[in-house]
Structure 1
């Protein structure tokens, strides 16, 4: 498979959140078929869905990979497992969460994986860091990251988000 640009969302709200995000990035960069290209700043965000939990640290990264989409998903799940992710409550607390947001211009819907991520356009914790590293990226719907982020902001939706300093 030819190398594709892929955007991933990383999140953590248990333990040393920034250390878990850093460990996930190290594992991605160490994979022989993945090149880590860019990382957004870290953002602190309120939980979505299940609200009785701590705030998340979130980040978006851009990678280049020759893996197929489902192969990449399985790599991400392996990283989550190695870092101690437990899947107890849907949208519940977790040491690490890794999601495929965009995979080149691919549109995919399988029982295991949907690309673009089905809720990415509803979430500030995805669109704000994605806009930081790829504001002019054209999504499969023909709109840019900036346009999606502005629309979410105009609606006043997407959840509270704060840039982490230092």
Structure 2
């Protein structure tokens, strides 16, 4: 079993309800146990600003799935929630990213772990801090040190939730 972290995001429809439903769907993935769910964070979109704000969360899971299997399951779940891939920075009904997979560093055409830009994205780092404040990223960098560098980046609202 490997400890992995999944990033969830949505900004179309009712994103808070979508993320709660996505957590429930992930609980049904084969060989995946959801061990922790971060608080829910709201942030401005990356890329074009002419879209709704995002809701984001992170899940801690234990899994026997390979990282590529998590990617496939995530994309299948996104599709089930109406995700259509049109533009890189566009609005999304649901986004599921493999953020970390143990201490693996993976570089394939379809999957990069740790997720690119993880350390620059407060909407990923702070939910990760909720679950694993003592975490060291692959390569040894402390997550808490990364969070300190992002304090100035605003996350506009934080909520507790229990999907």
Give TM-score, length-normalised by structure 2: 0.94
The superposition leaves residues 103-135 of structure 1 with CA deviations (integer Å, 9 ceiling, x where unpaired) of 000001000000001111111100011111111
Q: Give 2:104's match in structure 1, choosing from 103, 106, 115.
A: 106
Give the secondary structure class of the aligned counterpart of 1:63.
Answer: strand
Task: Name the stretch that deviates more: 100-109 or 135-144.
Answer: 135-144
Task: Name the stretch that deviates more: 144-153 or 117-126.
Answer: 144-153
Give the secondary structure class of the aligned counterpart of 1:131.
Answer: helix
Question: Once the 2 structures are TM-superposed, how far is the Cα of residue 149 of structure 1 from its aligned partner?
Answer: 0.8
Aligned equivalent of 1:96? 94
Aligned equivalent of 1:117? 115
Q: Give 2:52's match in structure 1, choosing from 51, 54, 58.
A: 54
CA contact (8 A) 2:41 2:155 kept: no
Give the secondary structure class of the aligned counterpart of 2:79.
Answer: helix
- List alignment gaps of at least 5 residues for structure 2: none
Question: Take 2:79 and 2:55, find their aligned partners in 1: how far apart are those partners?
Answer: 19
Aligned equivalent of 2:131? 133
Question: Take 1:118 and 1:26, find their aligned partners in 2: how far apart are those partners?
Answer: 26
Q: Give 1:42's match in structure 2, choosing from 40, 43, 68.
A: 40
- List alignment gaps of at least 5 residues for structure 1: none
Question: Once the 2 structures are TM-superposed, how far is the Cα of residue 165 of structure 1 from its aligned partner?
Answer: 5.8
1:85 pairs with 2:58: no
The superposition leaves residues 79-118 of structure 1 with CA deviations (integer Å, 9 ceiling, x where unpaired) of 0000110112211111100001100000010000000011
Question: Take 2:97 and 2:160, find their aligned partners in 1: how far apart are those partners?
Answer: 24
